[in-house]
Amino acid sequence: MQVHDPAGEFLRVAEHYRQMSDAEIQILARQRSELTDLAQQALAMEMSNRGLKPEPKEPPAPPVHEAPPHPSAPEDSDYKEERELVELCTVWSLRDALQVQRLLDVAGIPFYMGPEKATGVDQVTSSFPNGVSVRIMRVGIPWAGPAMRDYEPQDEPPRTHVEEGDAAPVRCPKCHSEEVIFEQLVNSEDDSSELSNGDSEPPNRNSVQSQNRFEWTCDSCGFHWQDDGLAKEE
């Protein structure tokens, strides 16, 4: 059967397997050869997340004087790039983490929080005040943007004073991701500014006068905003 939306089908099947018990997953693993390629990949990912191993089967005895066949490459090698984890955002409090979890669960997007790769907020052992990274599989990026448009963080990350000449990382004020795109510099007073709109690289924000406004777009959640390019202390 031809699947017209393989990424969407993979996410749907992965979420279905996520809700199954360990016993049901093991039974399904014994019937792996009857599943589609996408279903086999989703099953392998779920078994890996749970630390489950397929129940061994008795291999047929090789004929006398014949060496056993060389083991083949893992079946999921073709999906390695799609399953690569990419950062979606950073959360700085438990309530923000719960909000992200709810949005991603509704969208059916599996996620992993912190270096421990927790699949739920209750499994996170990292410290939220230090920032906890939320990552998803690359295949889920097209669905993550619309889901995260409803994200309203309640806790801002700690801010530090930026000395003159220091380069401060630009973060999205909505999801705090550093995947930020500089769009243009808006000069509200001096049209003869040597900095023109549409520069491919953002200028040094500390060297521009306050009347200039920087326009940014977050590549993670799609949020668009302007700022004056100056780091402020809380």
**pLDDT of 114:** 93
Convert the pLDDT of each residue in 131-142 to its tens digit.
Answer: 999 999 988 888
Give the contacts of 160 (CB within 8 A, at least 6 positions apart): 231, 233
> 203 to each of 193, 209, 213, how far by Cα in Å?
12, 12, 11
**pLDDT of 214:** 81
**pLDDT of 78:** 54
**pLDDT of 112:** 95
Convert the pLDDT of each residue in 11-42 to its tens digit.
Answer: 888 888 888 888 888 888 888 788 888 788 88
Confidence check: pLDDT of 62 > 80: no
Nearest to 127 by CA among 114, 142, 145: 114
**pLDDT of 135:** 94
Residue scoring higher pLDDT (59 or 102) = 102
Please name the amino acid found at residue 192: S
Nearest to 148 by CA among 196, 101, 206, 79: 101
Confidence check: pLDDT of 58 > 60: no
DSSP conformation letters of 69-118: PPPPPPGGGGGTTTT-EEEEEEE-SHHHHHHHHHHHHHHT--EEETTTTB
Convert the pLDDT of each residue in 161-220 to its tens digit.
Answer: 444 445 567 888 888 888 888 777 766 554 444 444 444 455 555 544 445 678 888 888
Q: Are strands 212-218 and 132-137 parallel, antiparallel or unpaired?
A: unpaired
Residue scoring higher pLDDT (157 or 65) = 157
